[in-house]
Amino acid sequence: MRILFLGDVVGRSGRDAVMAELPGLRARLKADLVVVNVENASHGFGVSPDMVRGFLGAGADALTLGNHSWDRKEIIGYIDGEPRLVRPVNYPPGTPGRGATVVEVPGGRKALIVNAMGRLFMEPLDDPFRGVQAELARHTLGAGGTVQAILIDIHAEASSEKMAMGHSFDGRASLVVGTHTHVPTSDHRILENGTAYMTDAGMCGDYDSVIGMQKGSAALRFWKKVPGEKLAPAEGPASLSGIFVETDDATGLARKVAAVRLGGLLSPAMPDF
């Protein structure tokens, strides 16, 4: 299976770029499964139902969230009816939505997408490791299993927590990828037991910014510890940033992995397989 994951979409710049480029990018990479983190798509904070429909219409199979899941209040009444929109699995019981979903991909195959949120320097949610473990316990991976690919989006501040997630589920997932810090790391690789891993996929947004926000007002917050103007997304040309994985059909584990960077200020990177 060929899997494309794109990091946090930030604001209109990132949103427009993903919706414009995703159909062609999916065709170019011959991707069977496309997952996009959209928790910053709406002016940097949350995502609206119309935007969800737009991303799905552009070619995404599933969308993940994070700490800004509920910033657009209308998503609370919408998320239960859209199984392809996944919020962190470690929100408390009774929270709207779901922390994992299974989607169908070409060839009669299925893929499990799990979203988890870290706790270091983040909200004190339930244990993300046990939450992911519970979801994976419901499935078997591989040609004869219940799913033929498993993708885990760990939305976390600390690189150590993301790495711990990767190693904890090495050999049990096709891909463990970090989101939230909006800076693409260069450590994409296949772990010892066959799981593809990347500490942070980066963002889909304008990199002439402070992690996607207009740099002037964002930088001023570090100079003056008083309330200032509300942060707003940068609106220049966006870079799409993410990771691409090819798995072994028999095992569901990774055979190849590569970074994806397209457009904007970042140096381009595109898989050659």
Contacts of 236 (CB under 8 A, 6+ apart): 13, 206, 208, 209, 264
Tens-place pLDDT, residues 118-147: 999 999 999 999 999 999 999 999 999 999
Catalytic residues: 68
Q: Do 153 and 177 form a contact (C-beta atoms < 8 A)?
A: yes
CA distance 154 to 66: 9
* pLDDT value of residue 227: 74
Tokens, residue 50: 């119309």
List the domains of the chain with CATH numbers. 2-262 (3.60.21.10)
Which residues of the chain have a pLDDT value below 70?
A: none
Contacts of 76 (CB under 8 A, 6+ apart): 70, 96
The backbone torsions φ and ψ at residue 30, rounded to the nearest 5 degrees and listed phi first, read 55, 45
* pLDDT value of residue 228: 74
Any idea what DSSP says for residue 244? E
Contacts of 214 (CB under 8 A, 6+ apart): 231, 232, 233, 234, 235
CA distance 259 to 243: 5
